[in-house]
Structure 1
Amino acid sequence: MQLKNYLQIFRRFNSVHKDILQKVKKVNQNSFVRLWITPKDYLKHLKKRLKHKDIKNRFDYFAKTITTLSHPQTIYYLKSTTPSTKDKIIYIQGSWVVIACDDGKIITSFPLKKSVQDILRDKKNKNFIPIPLPLPTQNKKGYNL
């Protein structure tokens, strides 16, 4: 990948990540649903995580998702190879994964039960180029972008 393209992607990520962090600061357990693509998607994922016993309750799901977005250990930017499809960002923190669109909306939030490489090779990500990104620097007040 050319440096120019990488810098464009990194700038795009920084913009989206900054927006996500601003929204995360304002959200609570009751307004968390607004971070998702649709309320229906949120409820579907919440029910699935409860059914599989991946989370204890609604607050646990909220906490794991917010922690992963706020303090990721690994980040991948998935660049779409088709112009009509939005790019995605994968945040990984410990044993939890959050995938968001490049508009900042959450697509899914789930436990890491397979390798990161398996997630990147998943059929849902076949039309994307995975690009590992450096972590934003963190100070005592939060992340500097």
Structure 2
Amino acid sequence: MKNHAWKKIEQYYGIVFPSDYLNFLQKVEQHGYNFVENGDVTDWEIRFSELDERFIETNRSLVDEVNPDPKRLIPFAWSVSSGNNYLFDYRTNLSCPAVVLMDHEEAMVREDAESESETLEEAQELMEQNVRKAADNFAEFAARLQPYTAE
């Protein structure tokens, strides 16, 4: 993080990134990681989004159409192998967001959710199924990462 574009990102979303996340980004190179759940690797080659001037537009074009709350669920990493996205969930805790997983294969786009529902509330309920909690916070998420090695 050579610039302070992350401050503009925080301002745009009305959030503050967790300090342990910002510290993590300063210490790591742009390599991939495996994510471990219950002792098994469940996602491979996870990479972290660069906090640069393209961050907001990239999220708008690649993630927002399947994101149930684009202003409170902020993508910060993705899996090269699966296309899954990892997002900070600011909906219930602004100071210590949980980390949620959006499964690329299972995610429903907003247009489909609205066409399959009778009300906007029902469509939103369908959209909520696009994410599931992966970790209570970034520190827990980071502790479950292992360096990715191509085999």
TM-score (structure 1 length as normaliser):
0.35
In terms of fraction of residues, the more helix-rich structure is 1
